[in-house]
Structure 1
Amino acid sequence: MQQQAVKHSVILRLAVPVPLRRLFDYLPPEGVDSAAVAPGQRFWVPFGGRKLVAVLVDVVSESPLAELKPALEQIDREPLFDRRSRDFLNWAAGYYQAPAGEIYAAALPAALRKGKPADHWAEQWLELTTDGKGLPETALARAPKQQSLLQLLLSRGRQSRTQLKALGHSSTIVRALAERGLVEWSAGPTVPPPLPPAEPTPPPELNEEQRQVLAAVATDRFSATLLEGTTGSGKTEVYLRLMAQVLAGGRQALLLVPEIGLTPQTLRRIAARFPGHSIAALHSGLAEGERAQAWLSAAAGQADIVIGTRSAILTPLPRLGAVIVDEEHDGSFKQQDGVRYSARDLAVVLGRNAGVPVLLGSATPSLESLHNALSGRYQHLRLRQRAGNARPPQIHVVPTLGQPLQEGFAPQVLRHIGETLARGEQALVFINRRGFAPALACDDCGWLADCPYCSSKLTMHRRQRQLRCHHCDYRRPLLDSCPQCHSRSLSALGGGTERSEDFLTHTFRDFPVIRVDRDTTASKQALDRLLAPARDGKPCLLLGTQMLAKGHHLPRVTLVVIQDADGGLFSADFRAAERTGQLLEQVAGRAGRGDLAGRVLVQSRYPEHPLLQLLLEKGYGAYARQLLRDRAVAQLPPLRAMALVRAECEEPRWAEEFLQQARAQMQALAPPSPELQYLGPVPALLERKSGRFRFYVQITAEKRGQLQPLLARFCQWAEGYKNRRLRWAVDMDAQELS
């Protein structure tokens, strides 16, 4: 029997944070006036015995359901999401085949996701009365402090109590103006937490290339631009100048950075360049209240500049004037669980919707962005010369096959490090493995310390006397004897940053060795503190993982050592060669960024590898173009669109069976052809993680439009699949096969 549709003057169509790809209809809460209901507000709703925070997407008058429950409570008086941000999030949910409720939840900071009222962080705002607005700026010339505050309010509009305090305007001065009837207080949206005071810095002189780039990026319309600039070429200065143009027009600038560790130094530089402007930081290193406050200030249009990591792209920005993505090639811009979106790709969609420029900057562009630039979809601009007097570093390969090494270092490499430190300069050693050793083995029976939950070895951390899995974070105490044969002859195989730190500290006793990896930067502001001696110019030896490769300007670093260049050249992941080239180029770019010449020493067991030779002799540009040609032959992204349908389960047979049925369902709708191809089910490169076996089906198509309807139909089928122990996901534009 067919259900009869329900009609009502107001029906709430809500995005509920559950893994179902549809919106849910509710009646308004009892006692709530329908005139007070607006899309973008949050509501508490009952759902399957739970109480959840949902976002109102639309208000309708008819529902296909026969009975509707009322929502429990209206949380917001004013919408948190404006029309443009709702359209953007709805588009993202459709493109990535994600539940709308989950993408709205991902857009909210944790405190608001939990239902905390937005007005909890409301500010008191000082604004001019009608009499105050009618005064000339010089009306209070005999009272200079009152005059200064009057000028501020006339030129910039209302100011919050937090802003007034930061600018040095005392409550006594405010009270004096209020007694004259010139100002009054009102409640309003929050402002970001104040930043530490920064000494204002004037902008440096631009070189001709930088001027040409700025002239080519118009701020009055949408454009997508790839800025390919060699390391140290002044890309950040271009970002700052573009921000200045946007702020001058009364609009907001959004800057995305790949790592939390880059945020403090970026904030300092921006605060020094734009004193008096409101700056909001959005990243996972903030406390819940700080992040909610920053998010609300951005969403209310109070923050002039928003700096954030991946999730900041989902934040409503009503005055958006430009989007800048720094290090656009970085893999951290792709969310690898939950809603698997790409912040870099969404930046282009957001800019198009808002009619504002999008600038993607990198010394080593992703093949996706480079392909878009070479095919004319993006504007392609270049910065080829380093800023100031800096010259590109000299790069030398140090063959290591058959050579006597000390803890992984060739003798001539150690000699160059010693000579660099003795001259009062700094050296940087790159090792992309943390811990003491990547494996622990028994010399007598060959036992290896495996993770019981993942297809991986346990990494030895000697200082904490632990064995750890870097995939699931399983930990166990360091063993003194083999659990298999009880021998005490255990060996640490290979080396990581911790082992190298011990060796280099012993070898170069007169100089500090600063280790930078995830273990040493776990606490807030740790990276900033660790790098302080290097920024002060003191001779030191920096040692670390790829955290050292991104965005750091250390002009006294004149020697960079890459301990092992071979790791990604022989991987089963087709993207590994691209990531290896980017990483090597980025690390090499840390050398010689100041007045002193730089040198890079690259240790390799296979110095004749054609890709390595191409990278070192002709640079990343030629290297990337060769990889694009290889991808075209193999019919792989970015020359073709790709999606993965993933499944994982504690019982591997169930995951494989699900994917076999899924592939059969999709092939019935769209049979294999030269334009649409299927592969799998195949095991992920890391087949078992956290106790669950993982498989995927790969679908490649000539055009993305061929994938979307196919994936949507698959999701409809998969949501009805009866196996609660199995997890599945769609990964559109997948970046990882692991």
Structure 2
Amino acid sequence: MASGGKAVKVALLRGIDKPLAYALPDSLAEAVRRGSLVNVPLRGTTANAVVLETLGPAEAAAEASGFRLKKVNFLVQPERALTDDLLEVARWISAYYGCGLQSVFEAMIPAAVRAGKGALEAKQARLLRELSEAELDKLRARAPAQAKICSALAGGAPILLSALLKLAKVPASAADALEKKGILEISKTEISRSGYDDETAAAELTSSADLELNEEQLAAFEAVRADASSGKFSPRLLYGVTGSGKTEVYIRAMKSVIASGGTCIFLVPEISLTPQTVGRLKSRLGDCGLVVWHSGLTSGQRLDAWRSIARGEAKVVVGARSCVFAPLENLRLIIVDEEHDGAYKQDSVPRYNARDIAILRAQKVGAACVLGSATPALETLSNAESGKYALSRITRRIDGAKMPRVYIADMTREKGGALLSRALCDKIAQRLERSEQIILLLNRRGYSKIFECPDCGYVEQCPHCSVSMTWHRNEDLVKCHVCGYSKRAPFACPECGSQKARWRGHGTQKVEDVAAKMFPGARIGRMDRDAMKRRDNYRKILGDFRTGRLDILIGTQMIAKGLDFPRVTLVGIIDADTCLRMPDFRAAEKTYQLIVQVAGRAGRGSDEGEVIVQTRSPEAAPIQFAKRDDMQAFLEGELAARREFGYPPATRLIRQIFRSRSERKLSFYTEEWAKLAQARFGNLCQIRGPAPAPLERTQDFYRWHIWYFCRSIRPVVAQILALKRDFPMDADVEEVLDVDPISLM
């Protein structure tokens, strides 16, 4: 029997990965909309699902096809989980990145929301009427505990019941008795769990006064404001040198959008950049319902942030990658700061790039999207030069500050094994004497990288991955930075017993140790994944450095971009060759970006900055161009090389990664896959591989990959998905697509 009422088409969050139809009870007809999260019956159990569309009686009858549709059980969240534009974005991600809608919704909707968790509630108490002195005296004689509660609440605002009982030092039964007498009202109230309303947040605030814009800043602001107010999709690259005041342009544009009733998303690549950004925005934007959204929050904090957004209370959302999915209505402006950063690319399914999704979402709602960087990605620059994106340039620093002087230290001329060059040591000593601050960057954590025996050639490797183990001296453990395996550090060669085996290479822990010995009076902090294990550790370290409680900050790439410390006058790049040695066609670009970005932390105040770049390849093009701050010349050479060898942005790239515990099966099935792919759609793309991935083995899985070079992504992805449905892949072999890959390991 066909259903005669309204129905909905839903996508389940688990189980069957295709749309299903359900009847909609009359009691939910008004509450359920596209994007609502509902609970539905499924094969003897229940499941939560996203409503893709609502169906009228005729459509519902057609869906039923002679069967009675099962009814939706209930609404999981009173607010919509996804806006209309996010539903369209979800479908696009599924088709473009070749993944199921379930994985997309998992990335878009916080786990606590999907699970149907509600707000944190607590009981609060307030007096319904004030008692006279005579009544209080009478109550003290008969029920002293009740009298204490009345005295504590006299003339005051409502208070949490738990705090009241602790303050008055009375049992809960006393409050219950007063409630029964009609003297006290006990009600439930929501408790907001914010990640940035604490003592540290106060220190992160800045001046609330607007800064004076120079001509280039003003021109950029006027252009962005016009984009945001046009009601049309307007992508723009804001290309400004480090310290040029791009953030001031962002803030002015956001104030304009908020004043006109619109909402904004502000994306940053690293959680470490969030406190500084939040502090500035809170100081300048005032009470605009600013919400912070990133993976460093607790599940409760993420839930409360989401509810604030979904209810329309938030006007500005700040955060890392997943912030692009904030369900804001009337979205007028999306800002992607440090748009070149690889951290915007998700490294698990769905492997989306938040920068590209920001552009797409702005297109769906007719909003402005600003991509800001001092070192834009080649793909972004190519789009700007072709006219696909508008371009605003800021070529000089604010307040006439000079760009830092960059010096190259050739480490082949230093003493063998030297970690810090003589030039860098001298500069550090000078800065410490003048009470100025120093940043030292090494994009490798741990103490030493390789344990090697000169007698038998043994190298300490992870038993589960094809990488060497790193020594963490503080714990005296060797750890694999891929799978997390750890064990006690060896003191002799495990293979031949030689006592000559030694640790080689260096990480941030060793830099910290050496700096502490060379400069014993210096106050040193370290920022890397090992030092940031506790929640909000990064806020404390950055706060201490900002307020001058630290002299030297040592860290990995998380300190290389976006941070603004006016007292930093010296930056030391310990090993500029790290990226150059990677098997990656973007190696030169990443090296150039890293040097320029971290160099930009120096000299942002009144004192001129200096940068020491330590390298064993001083003649390398990205290092020389970064020294001269000549991005145009670097880009011309890099783009020419990409075109010659057919790499992005000259073409598009899809990487397919296969893995299996059996190397023989992996080799056989990837070879067979490549043959069929070539036969089926070799006319659409150039297929290279299969071949072992640079990181050939991880977590006991062998890894091979195939590259597809093409003009258009979606036709090739569609063909790959069609081949997956037909190909008799062994159950022991897994595969995943990485469209527009950033990491090629």
Is TM more than 0.5 here? yes
1:735 and 2:742 matched? yes
User: What do the CA deviations read for 1:505-534 (whole angstroms, capped 9, x no partner)?
Assistant: 011011112222111122222122113343
1:310 and 2:311 matched? no
Question: Which residue matches 1:202?
Answer: 209
Judge which range, 58-67 or 663-672, deviates more: 58-67
Question: Which residue matches 1:243?
Answer: 254
Task: Give me the whole-angstrom Cα distance separating, in 2, the residues matched to 1:187 and 1:477.
Answer: 51
1:723 and 2:730 matched? yes
1:212 and 2:219 matched? yes
Question: Which residue matches 1:685?
Answer: 694
1:262 and 2:273 matched? yes
Task: Give me the whole-angstrom Cα distance separating, in 1, the residues matched to 2:607 and 2:348.
Answer: 44
Match of 1:13 among 9, 13, 16: 9
Q: SS in structure 1 opposite 2:658? A: strand
Task: Give me the whole-angstrom Cα distance separating, in 2, the residues matched to 1:539 and 1:568.
Answer: 28
CA contact (8 A) 1:436 1:497 kept: yes
Counterparts of 1:86-101 in structure 2, within 5 Å, are 86-101=87-102
Q: SS in structure 1 opposite 2:614? A: strand
Distance 1:299 1:189, change over 3 A: farther
Judge which range, 70-79 or 373-382, deviates more: 70-79
CA contact (8 A) 1:279 1:304 kept: yes
Task: Give me the whole-angstrom Cα distance separating, in 2, the residues matched to 1:65 and 1:396.
Answer: 75
Distance 1:435 1:8, change over 3 A: farther
Distance 1:58 1:447, change over 3 A: same
Question: Which residue matches 2:660?
Answer: 649
User: What do the CA deviations read for 1:59-89 (whole angstroms, capped 9, x no partner)?
Assistant: 3423498876665554234532232221222
Counterparts of 1:328-477 in structure 2, within 5 Å, are 328-405=339-416, 407-477=418-488
1:44 and 2:50 matched? no
User: What do the CA deviations read for 1:611-657 (whole angstroms, capped 9, x no partner)?
Assistant: 43233235233213321121111111111111122211111233333
**Deviation of 1:28 (Å):** 3.9
Distance 1:189 1:463, change over 3 A: closer
Judge which range, 203-212 or 193-202, deviates more: 193-202
Task: Give me the whole-angstrom Cα distance separating, in 2, the residues matched to 1:646 and 1:48.
Answer: 34
Counterparts of 1:45-64 in structure 2, within 5 Å, are 45=40, 51-60=46-55, 61=60, 62-63=62-63
Question: Which residue matches 1:513?
Answer: 524
1:579 and 2:594 matched? no
CA contact (8 A) 1:193 1:280 kept: no
Q: SS in structure 1 opposite 2:463? A: coil
CA contact (8 A) 2:681 2:719 kept: yes
CA contact (8 A) 2:322 2:354 kept: yes
Distance 1:575 1:438, change over 3 A: same
- Matched residue type, 2:698: K
CA contact (8 A) 1:191 1:297 kept: no
Task: Give me the whole-angstrom Cα distance separating, in 2, the residues matched to 1:716 and 1:66.
Answer: 30
CA RMSD in angstroms, aligned pairs only? 2.9
User: What do the CA deviations read for 1:200-236 (whole angstroms, capped 9, x no partner)?
Assistant: 5111111111001011222123211111111111011
Question: Which residue matches 1:710?
Answer: 719
Distance 1:406 1:688, change over 3 A: closer
- Matched residue type, 2:281: I
CA contact (8 A) 1:647 1:658 kept: no
**Deviation of 1:571 (Å):** 2.9
CA contact (8 A) 2:79 2:310 kept: no
**Deviation of 1:726 (Å):** 2.6
Larger Rg: 2
CA contact (8 A) 1:407 1:495 kept: no
Question: Which residue matches 2:184?
Answer: none
Counterparts of 1:587-598 in structure 2, within 5 Å, are 587-598=598-609
Question: Which residue matches 2:143?
Answer: none
- Matched residue type, 2:52: V
CA contact (8 A) 2:335 2:370 kept: yes
Distance 1:46 1:654, change over 3 A: farther
Distance 1:48 1:652, change over 3 A: farther
**Deviation of 1:482 (Å):** 2.7
Q: SS in structure 1 opposite 2:398? A: coil
User: What do the CA deviations read for 1:71-129 (whole angstroms, capped 9, x no partner)?
Assistant: 55542345322322212222222221221121112111120122324x667999xxxxx
1:110 and 2:119 matched? no
Q: SS in structure 1 opposite 2:335? A: strand
1:699 and 2:708 matched? yes
Distance 1:710 1:8, change over 3 A: farther
Task: Give me the whole-angstrom Cα distance separating, in 1, the residues matched to 2:524 and 2:196.
Answer: 34
Pairs aligned (count): 670
Distance 1:15 1:189, change over 3 A: farther
**Deviation of 1:443 (Å):** 4.2
User: What do the CA deviations read for 1:348-379 (whole angstroms, capped 9, x no partner)?
Assistant: 11111111110000111011111111111111
**Deviation of 1:452 (Å):** 0.8
TM-score by length of 2: 0.84
**Deviation of 1:55 (Å):** 1.2
CA contact (8 A) 1:323 1:347 kept: yes
Question: Which residue matches 1:535?
Answer: 546
Task: Give me the whole-angstrom Cα distance separating, in 2, the residues matched to 1:668 and 1:714.
Answer: 11
Distance 1:250 1:702, change over 3 A: same
CA contact (8 A) 1:425 1:539 kept: no
Task: Give me the whole-angstrom Cα distance separating, in 1, the residues matched to 2:431 and 2:664.
Answer: 57
CA contact (8 A) 2:193 2:301 kept: no
Unaligned runs of 5+ in 1: 125-160, 163-184
User: What do the CA deviations read for 1:317-342 (whole angstroms, capped 9, x no partner)?
Assistant: 11211000011011010111110111
CA contact (8 A) 2:290 2:316 kept: yes
Match of 2:307 among 296, 308, 318: 296
User: What do the CA deviations read for 1:560-600 (whole angstroms, capped 9, x no partner)?
Assistant: 11122222224321112111111111111111111111111
